[in-house]
């Protein structure tokens, strides 16, 4: 059902543009529908991510081949053209004639079919001739980088200004890499060596953490006995390092203020050897069952959940030895997994720092004397990262910076995990210790 696969991909792309959600969630919903075999699902996924990862590059190619300016092309038609261009230029397993004919078939109306056919055939001819070339880097560096890496200039300039030109291009290069699928060994039930033996070559050790493994290709989890038996859960390597910074110990009380979907809570519980008390909080009550089901599968019994707005004061949560504030953020560190994030206006995240600081201060209110407070995000933005941590350090005399573990390679209490350096998602972690008053 090749035509249906392309139509499904096109519908997902249109919904994303209309603000209908994240690509991974929309794909999960679409692929759960009956009628798609394994090959269909893989093709739909490749089409959606192919367009999202290369959209600005495709737009550059379309603009060269179209008599109409991009801004005058109806959005649904533009997505159709992007779908065709990305098959022609970036999907080796698709023949050009099939990319053209099957994509044109999705167009509605004779005029649009002709328009799409003409552009896609021009792209095929230019591909054979080795054109188009990128914009000239010497005269238009931002244009070159935007087209080469399909990343808006506003974001390129932000990263260059905050991290430097070399690091900014390193981040851009990382966007073209396929993210590794990282998981955490459930040390309550097995060891990494034993789990890798059970998985029999499907996964390998991660160098970043002693209890992390990596899948080059994500298997069908529900078909794995190791998954059904709760021997591991999915969690990015950077997220696992964040849990190491928290350093939870058996018998302690730990508060995870923004817990869903639960990966950090599960790792924290395993580090605690399932001894003590772990309270996982989440703003949206509908997401709490995700945490509960995950804990049950893993055999975690110390975890309880509560629906809670982490930005508001709630004395009922009590005091804890360690508090994790993994706050909502702009997500600029997880673009490889959610490529559409790069196209969102930076202004959309302007209100986030105020929310993030409020959550961090609420977390601080629950830390016992001598206890640990960790602040983290999965974004690459100084306004959401270093500026929040530095403000907290300057405004809260009852806390002192706490040096991060060696694995984070940080000189002090803050660490930015750049994806091209750590080969993880982009991530930020800061740690504080509440003074004892001695």
Phi, psi angle pair for 353, to nearest 5°: -55, -40
pLDDT at 2: 43
Domain shared by 292 and 426, yes or no:
yes
Structural domain contains residue 17 = yes
Residue 403 clears pLDDT 60, i.e. is over it: yes
Structural domain contains residue 402 = yes
Segment 87-107 shows an average pLDDT of 93
In whole angstroms, what is the distance from residue 180 CA to residue 140 CA? 33
Q: Which residues contact 299 (CB under 8 A, 6 or more apart)?
A: 186, 188, 189, 230, 274
Residue 438 clears pLDDT 60, i.e. is over it: no
Q: Which of 218, 234, 250 is the last residue of a domain?
A: 234
- Closest to 393 (Cα-Cα) out of 367, 438, 415, 360: 360
**Structural domain of 202:** 181-234
Structural domain contains residue 133 = no
Q: Which of 33-37, 257-261, 418-422 has the lowest mean pLDDT?
A: 33-37
Whichever domain contains 193, its CATH number is 3.30.70.1170
Query: pLDDT category, 304, cuts 50, 70, 90?
Result: very high
Structural domain contains residue 134 = no
Structural domain contains residue 52 = yes
Q: Give per-residue pLDDT as tens, 309-324.
A: 999 999 999 999 999 9
Phi, psi angle pair for 45, to nearest 5°: -60, -45
Q: Give per-residue pLDDT as tens, 116-151.
A: 999 999 999 988 887 667 899 999 999 999 999 999
Residue 394 clears pLDDT 70, i.e. is over it: yes
Segment 325-338 shows an average pLDDT of 96
Domain shared by 334 and 206, yes or no:
no
Segment 221-237 shows an average pLDDT of 95
Task: Give this prediction's pTM.
Answer: 0.93
Domain shared by 207 and 246, yes or no:
no
pLDDT at 132: 66
Domain count, the chain: 4
Structural domain contains residue 136 = no
Segment 244-264 shows an average pLDDT of 97
Query: pLDDT category, 108, cuts 50, 70, 90?
Result: confident
pLDDT at 4: 76
Q: Give per-residue pLDDT as tens, 173-206.
A: 999 988 779 999 999 999 999 999 999 999 999 9
In this structure, the number of other CB atoms found within 10 A of the CB of residue 315 comes to 8
pLDDT at 160: 97
In whole angstroms, what is the distance from residue 176 CA to residue 114 CA? 32
Domain shared by 117 and 210, yes or no:
no
Segment 390-406 shows an average pLDDT of 96
Domain shared by 209 and 281, yes or no:
no
Domain shared by 216 and 198, yes or no:
yes
| Strand-strand pairing, 232-234 and 203-205 | unpaired
Q: What is the DSSP letter of 183?
A: E
pLDDT at 38: 87
Find the helix packing angle between 75-90 and 38-53, rounded to 10°: 110
Domain shared by 119 and 219, yes or no:
no
Whichever domain contains 63, its CATH number is 1.10.940.10
Domain shared by 288 and 159, yes or no:
no
Domain shared by 152 and 77, yes or no:
no
Mean pLDDT score across all residues of the chain: 94
Query: pLDDT category, 256, cuts 50, 70, 90?
Result: very high
Domain shared by 253 and 149, yes or no:
no
Residue 290 clears pLDDT 90, i.e. is over it: yes
pLDDT at 218: 85
Residue 248 clears pLDDT 50, i.e. is over it: yes
Active site residues: 378
Structural domain contains residue 82 = yes
Spatial contact of 191 and 438, defined as CB atoms under 8 Å apart: no
Distance of CA 429 to the CA centre of its chain: 16
Structural domain contains residue 46 = yes
Residue 425 clears pLDDT 50, i.e. is over it: yes
Segment 277-292 shows an average pLDDT of 96
Domain shared by 6 and 71, yes or no:
yes
Spatial contact of 424 and 393, defined as CB atoms under 8 Å apart: no
Domain shared by 229 and 242, yes or no:
no
């Amino acid at each position: 059902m090749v035509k249906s696969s392309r139509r499904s991909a096109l519908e997902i792309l249109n919904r994303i543009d209309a603000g209908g959600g994240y690509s991974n969630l929309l794909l999960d919903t679409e692929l759960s529908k009956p009628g798609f075999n394994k090959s269909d699902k893989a093709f739909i996924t490749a089409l959606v991510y192919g367009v999202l990862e290369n959209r600005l590059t495709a737009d550059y190619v379309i603009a060269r081949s179209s008599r109409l300016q991009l801004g005058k092309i109806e959005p649904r038609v533009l997505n159709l053209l992007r779908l065709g261009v990305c098959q022609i230029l970036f999907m080796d397993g698709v023949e050009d004639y099939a990319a053209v004919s099957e994509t044109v078939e999705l167009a509605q109306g004779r005029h649009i079919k002709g328009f799409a056919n003409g552009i896609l055939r021009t792209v095929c001819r230019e591909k054979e001739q080795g054109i188009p070339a990128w914009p000239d880097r010497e005269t238009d560096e931002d244009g070159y980088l935007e087209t080469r890496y399909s990343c808006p200039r506003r974001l390129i300039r932000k990263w260059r200004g905050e991290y430097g030109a070399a690091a900014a291009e390193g981040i851009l290069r990382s966007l073209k890499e396929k993210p590794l699928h990282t998981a955490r060994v459930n040390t309550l039930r097995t060891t990494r060596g034993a789990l890798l033996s059970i998985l029999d070559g499907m996964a390998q050790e991660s160098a970043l953490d002693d209890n992390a493994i990596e899948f080059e290709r994500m298997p069908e989890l529900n078909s794995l006995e190791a998954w059904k038996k709760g021997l591991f859960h999915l969690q990015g390597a950077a997220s696992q390092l964040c849990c190491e910074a928290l350093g939870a110990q058996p018998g302690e009380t730990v508060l995870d203020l923004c817990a869903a979907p639960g990966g950090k809570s599960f790792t924290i519980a395993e580090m605690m050897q399932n001894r003590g008390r772990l309270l996982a909080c989440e703003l949206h009550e509908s997401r709490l069952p995700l945490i509960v089901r995950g804990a049950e599968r893993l055999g975690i019994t110390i975890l309880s959940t509560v629906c809670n707005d982490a930005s508001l004061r709630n004395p009922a949560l009590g005091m804890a030895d360690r508090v994790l504030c993994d706050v909502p953020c702009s997500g600029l560190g997880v673009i490889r997994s959610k490529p559409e994030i790069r196209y969102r206006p930076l202004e959309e995240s302007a209100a986030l720092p105020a929310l993030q600081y409020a959550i961090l201060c609420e977390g601080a209110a629950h830390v016992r004397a001598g206890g640990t407070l960790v602040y983290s995000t999965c974004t690459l933005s100084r306004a959401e990262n270093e500026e929040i941590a530095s403000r907290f350090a300057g405004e809260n005399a009852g806390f002192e910076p706490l040096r991060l573990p060696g694995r984070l390679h940080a000189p002090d209490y803050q660490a930015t995990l750049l994806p091209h350096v750590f080969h993880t998602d982009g991530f930020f972690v800061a740690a504080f210790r509440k003074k004892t008053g001695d």
